[in-house]
Amino acid sequence: MSVFYKQLFMPTISIIIPTLNEATNIQRLLPHLQQYGQGKIKEIIVSDGGSNDGTLNFAKDLGAMTHQAATSGRGAQLAAAAALASSEILYFVHADTIPPSSYVQDIHDALDRGYDFGCYRYRFDSTQLVLKINAWFTRFPFMWCRGGDQSLFITRTFYDKIGGFDATQNIMEDFDIILRGKKQGGRFRIMPKNVLVSDRKYHYNSYLRVNIANLIIFNMWRLGYEPATLKRTYYKLIRHPKNAT
């Protein structure tokens, strides 16, 4: 089959973006996704957790579907938006992440090779050596190297099979769905390209503080702490850009 016909019959993708006061980032991300969508983006759904900075208005103006989630928290926002999506391929992207311009072809190539779900490596939009070292580790398959910033693609069939995003998970939803997918035999692909990720947390916290907080929360999650406890502990350990004054 020629490349033209192969591209013609590639399934469409629904892109889902969870937001909370992401007006600036959404104005950068949506045009990028649309520009490089290759005509295969069925819809972009921005699922908001209660923004007061005009995020949803900007998203609408840029042509995205918008959804006001009943509950704030990424797990709930992602689960609700996924239920609205109409494509066989779902692609979850954080608002402060920029996928490669080849993202549509990358996802289709991975699925053609028999993978059920997967993500990218990442690099920070920073020249700091320590952040380059952090990013370098995202090429490895260990769970502690994962994170929602790497974005996540998954077939609808496999998403439904594993129960989708857990709406009770508000900061570890990405780890949770990947772990459940692997336990149920899903083939997981780490694509050998980088998404570009904001380094904004490091503007308000030291490198050491962020990574200690990540380690503590990761281990609490593995030990089975309740999602509300994880979120409360995390925001005691670091200052998040949206909450910093």
Report the DSSP beta bridge partners of residue 121: 194
Task: Say if residue 2's pLDDT is above 60.
Answer: no
For 187, which DSSP code? Answer: -
> Please, what are the domains in the chain?
3-199 (3.90.550.10), 201-245 (no CATH)
pLDDT at 1: 47
Position 242 scores a pLDDT of 66
The DSSP code sequence of 121-151 is EEEESS--HHHHHHHHGGGS--GGG--GGG-
Q: How confident is the model at residue 239 (pLDDT cuts 50, 70, 90)?
A: confident
The sheet with strand 89-92 has its strands ordered as: 65-68, 41-48, 13-19, 89-92, 152-155, 117-124, 188-197, 97-98
Torsion of CA 88, 150, 63, 171, to 10 degrees: 90
Please determine, for residue 162, whether its predicted confidence score (pLDDT) is greater than 80.
yes
Give me the phi and psi of 155, to 5 degrees please: -75, 150
| Per-residue confidence band for 72, with pLDDT thresholds at 50, 70 and 90 | confident
